[in-house]
A and B are shown apart, each in its own frame.
Chain A
Amino acid sequence: MPMSMDLLLLAEQGLNGLQLGVMLFLMAAGLTLVFGIMDLINLAHGSFYMVGAYLTAALVPVLGGFLPALAVAVLLTALLGLAVEAVALRTLYRRDHLDQVLATFGLILFFNELIRILFGPVPIFLNPPAALAGTVDLWGLTYPAFRLAILGTGLAVALGLWLLISKTRVGMLIRAGATNREMVMALGVDVRLLFGLVFALGCGLAGLAGAMAGPVLAVQVGMGEQILILTFVVIVIGGIGSIRGAFAGALLVGVVDTLGRALLPATFRLVMDAASANAAGAAAASMAIYVLMALVLAVRPKGLFPAA
């Protein structure tokens, strides 16, 4: 194989890694906001991701297009988050993390069963919009158009969150809340409203992640839990509560995971026979992000960019 082909493949894998990272960022941003500002461990974050995907899939035939379906689904998911915060979570802020884990785990079971009742046990259909269904040519590299759309969406969300948090008044309150909640309350800020908004924003982002992941992945009951573990790895690496950390952590996890899967089996084949290399490479690739997490925590126990 000529060198240029190898380089092209490596570039494609790098792009794949960034794209996976950006998708993880959409999930991680909401989770880390809620954790950092409200001090709430929300295991049910994956449920909102699932709800976002299901609503988008259900709304595409009704609204006749992917984009309007996505917009309405994200809005509805955020409203659902607002309702869940008011009904189920508000009483949990003062309780310790174990109680929160138990309660939000209960929410996972509730939402999984609810979706199963509403949509049935079989995974449902969701495709990219026709305009983004094919591939595009990037300087000799054929790349799925919808994955580029995910990349663009994620970067836009990252930019938007940065503007929101560092340039607006609400963002200032969010930052203040993350640093010292009691002081913010003492200054007369309606923390209840602030928390509700932050939680709804987190849920909306999870819904957006679900809507963007739906055309690429299986839209099925339990899809949220599959990605939740990865999301937790991301925010632990990035530093809990930090959007910047979530962004860096997500890209790092995406790139390490993708390059691990792409390169490790081939690397192992240099030193052992093909059959063992395939198995050992696959096993090592599946461990790569956890090794990364261990290394990061060994050097920086609070993650790359701890929030305050």
Chain B
Amino acid sequence: MTRSLLALTSVALLAASPVLADPLKVGMITTLSGPGAGLGIDIRDGFALATEHLGGKLGGQDTQIVEADDQQKPDVAVGLANRMVERDRVNVVTGIVWSNLALAMMPTLAAGKTLFVSPNAGPSQLAGSQCNPYFFNVAYQNDTIHEAMGKHVQDAGFKKVYLLAPNYPAGKDSLAGFKRYYKGTVAGEVYTQVGQLDYAAELAQLKAAAPDAVFAFYPGGMGINFIKQFEQAGLKGATPLFGPGFSFDQDILAAVGEAALGAKNSAQWSPDLDTPANASFVKDFKAKFNRIPSMYAAQGYDAALLIDAAVKGVGGDLKDKDKLRAAMKAAKFDGLRGSFRLNNNQFPIQNVYLREVVKGADGTITNKLAGTVFTDHADSYAKDCAMK
């Protein structure tokens, strides 16, 4: 009894203490340990660079970033979401890499009326019938990138394509997205274990099937394993390898080196994308973190810009959560991909590009734009979303 009285008093005291301008609090829940940490660290660093470019103030407000490691575990992520809403009382949560974690956190954040800005995860559920007014995606809807590759492979005239992906929801979505646009023969459709190390068995089957092209969705460490072994099996050069940008992004390229050279992949961003903001982003990221930024770093950067635009939209008044949400929905800004806009389901409408893995002048292996696959593309789930 006394304790709760004491607690109440201290809360009252806190509330009564003179309020300067409310600082903006951003919860950065991302993966900072374990094999998936590279992606989370890139998102965090991209976000930090944007905050630095904006003078430490998003939307002109003093900004406090509360960082937490979700360990790529849904239960940990939900616990952190709870903490961010109840204890840290953040205005916005961002940082999330994995779709399964984002889905698990959504109910908690929506109940706490806390804005959830995803810099990566874009599951179909949250884009379609279960779209949520508190969920904003600044990166892409998951299927889009794979659809773009399906379209390119179809347009390039390949007739017999072998498909591989890890055996989990995003892997199945990947191949489904690819097949939405690729209409030729599927020479084989193989699902491998999540985190699988050895692909010798699959590569032997692949070789025996003699496809005219291969599409592989393997993000992170799986991508490194697969690309190295694909080359060592003598398949590179003999059979063209395609994939979404995740299979050939900067985190993978540094580790596989020339084994990935020439691979075509699809993404909404590339280090050489010609926008005013992008050139300085790539240059400053390299200078600050001593590595070429990945897609994930660029997405983290744009997440900060979206929050910045929303806070500007309400003139720094963070009290009214609904106003902040409306301002985010209406936010217009020039991001790394140029003029940024959201669809009715609060996912981006954007171009998807074709990239090719090349060796730069300084010997680094990186991606280079090789064309545009989709222009102002909206995801295929937006029509099922009831939001206007």
List A residues at the B interface (Cβ < 8 Å).
Answer: 1, 5, 9, 12-13, 16-17, 19-20, 112, 116, 120-128, 133-135, 142, 144, 146-147, 215-223, 226-227, 257-259, 261-262, 265, 274-275, 278-279, 282-283, 285-286
Chain B residues lying within 8 Å of A144, measured Cβ to Cβ, are 229, 232-234
Bound Cα distance from A144 to B230, whole angstroms: 10
Measured CA separation A126–B76 after assembly (Å):
33
Q: Contacting A9 at CB < 8 Å: which of B172, B190, B204?
A: B204
B33: nearest chain-A partner, CB-CB: A112
B224, A218: Cβ atoms under 8 Å?
A: yes
Instruction: From known contacts A121-B41, A142-B234, A226-B35, infer whether A217 and B228 are also in contact, taking CB-CB under 8 Å.
Output: yes
A11 nearest CB neighbor, chain B only: B204
Is chain B's binding surface mostly helix, strand, loop or mixed? helix
Interface residues of B in 44-89 (CB under 8 A from A): none
User: In the complex, what residues of A have CB within 8 A of residue B272's CB?
Assistant: none
A190 to chain B, nearest CB (A): 39
For B192, the chain A residues whose CB sits under 8 A away are 261, 282
Please tell me if the beta carbons of B197 and A278 are within 8 angstroms of each other in the complex.
no
* B1-9, B10-18, B253-261, B370-378 - the one binding chain A: B253-261
- Give residues in B with beta carbon < 8 Å to A: 33-35, 37-38, 41, 167, 172, 189-193, 195, 197-198, 200-202, 204-205, 207-208, 220-222, 224-225, 228-229, 232-234, 251-252, 254-257, 259, 291
Q: How far is the CB of A275 from chain B (nearest CB, A)?
A: 8
CB of A216 within 8 A of CB of B225, answer yes
* B224 with A135: CB separation less than 8 A: no
Q: Tell me the complex Cα distance, A137–B26, Å.
A: 58
Assess whether A221 is in contact with B35, with CB atoms less than 8 Å apart. Answer: yes
- The answer to whether A135 touches B234, judged by C-beta atoms less than 8 angstroms apart, is yes
Whole-angstrom distance between the alpha carbons of A275 and B188 in the complex?
Answer: 11
Q: Are A147 and B251 in contact (CB under 8 A)?
A: no
Given A16-B204, A278-B191, residue A124 in contact with residue B221 (CB < 8 A):
no
Residues from chain A with Cβ under 8 Å of B195 in the complex: 226
A109: min CB distance to chain B, Å: 9
Verify A279–B228 contact, CB threshold 8 A: no
Residue from B201, B233, B234 in contact with A258 in the complex, judged by beta carbons closer than 8 Å: B201
| Inter-subunit contact A19/B41 (CB<8 Å) | no
What does DSSP make chain A's interface, helix, strand, loop or mixed?
A: helix
A219: B residues at CB distance < 8 A: 255
Pairwise interchain contact B255-A20, C-beta atoms closer than 8 A: no
- Residues of the B chain whose Cβ atoms lie less than 8 Å from the Cβ of A133: 232
> Assuming A127-B257, A218-B221, A265-B190, is B201 touching A13 (CB within 8 A)?
yes
State whether B191 touches A279 (Cβ < 8 A). yes
- Chain A nearest CB from B180 CB (Å) reads 15
Interchain residue pairs with CB less than 8 A apart (21):
A5-B208, A20-B200, A123-B255, A124-B254, A125-B257, A134-B234, A142-B234, A144-B229, A144-B233, A217-B198, A217-B228, A218-B225, A220-B224, A226-B197, A258-B198, A258-B201, A261-B192, A262-B202, A262-B205, A282-B191, A282-B192
Q: A226-B195, A261-B192 are in contact. Are A216 and B204 (CB under 8 A)?
A: no
Question: B234: which A residues are within 8 A, CB to CB?
Answer: 134-135, 142, 144
Q: Which A residues lie within 8 Å of B191 (CB)?
A: 278-279, 282
Closest 4 CB pairs of A and B: A218-B224, A16-B200, A218-B221, A123-B255
Say how far B309's CB is from chain A's closest CB, in angstroms. Answer: 29
Contact present for B225 and A222 (CB under 8 Å) = no
Q: Which of A112, A134, A144 has the most CB of B within 10 A?
A: A144
Task: Please state if B255 and A220 are interface contacts (CB–CB under 8 Å).
Answer: yes
* Contacts known (A5-B208, A123-B254, A142-B234); A217 close to B35, Cβ less than 8 A: no
Select which of B207, B229, B232, B251 is within 8 A of A123 by beta carbon.
Answer: B251
- In the bound assembly, the distance between CA atoms of A146 and B228 in angstroms comes to 11
Is there contact, CB below 8 Å, between A216 and B255? no
- Chain A residue contacts of B233, Cβ below 8 A: 135, 142, 144
Complex formed: what's the CA distance from A121 to B232 in Å? Answer: 25
**CA separation between A146 and B200, bound complex, in Å?**
12
Given known contacts A135-B234, A221-B37, A258 and B255 CB-to-CB distance under 8 angstroms: no
Q: Which listed residue, B198, B232, B251, B291, touches A20 by the CB 8 Å rule?
A: B198
Chain B residue numbers with a CB within 8 Å of A278 are: 189-191
Are B254 and A258 in touch, CB under 8 angstroms?
no
Which residues on the B side are within 8 Å of A125 (C-beta)? 254-257
Which of A19, A120, A216, A259 is most buried by chain B, counting CB atoms within 10 A of its CB? A216
B41:A217 contact, CB within 8 angstroms: no
Residues of the A chain whose Cβ atoms lie less than 8 Å from the Cβ of B41: 121
How long is the Cα–Cα vector from A101 to B186 in the complex, in angstroms?
A: 47
Residues of A within 8 A of B225 (CB): 216-218
Docked-complex contact A13 and B204, CB < 8 angstroms? yes
A107 shortest CB reach to chain B, Å: 15
Give the distance to chain B from A304, nearest Cβ to Cβ, in Å. Answer: 22
CB proximity of B161 to chain A, nearest CB, Å: 15
Contacts of B167 in A (CB 8 A): 279, 282-283, 286
A122-B254, A125-B256, A216-B198 are known; give 20 further A-B pairs, CB within 8 A: A122-B38, A122-B251, A122-B291, A124-B254, A125-B254, A125-B255, A125-B257, A126-B255, A135-B233, A215-B228, A216-B225, A217-B221, A218-B221, A218-B225, A226-B35, A257-B198, A258-B200, A262-B205, A278-B190, A285-B193
B221 with A262: CB separation less than 8 A: no
- Chain A residue numbers with a CB within 8 Å of B291 are 120, 122
Q: Which of A5, A147, A261, A265 has the most CB of B within 10 A?
A: A261
Q: Nearest B residue to A266 by beta-carbon distance?
A: B205
* A19 lies within 8 A of B200 (CB): yes
Q: CB-nearest residue of chain B relative to A116?
A: B37
Question: B207: which A residues are within 8 A, CB to CB?
Answer: 142
- Cα distance, A124 to B228, chains bound together (Å): 13
User: For B204, what are the chain A residues with a Cβ–Cβ distance below 8 Å?
Assistant: 9, 12-13, 16, 262
Q: Is the CB of B232 within 8 A of A217?
A: no
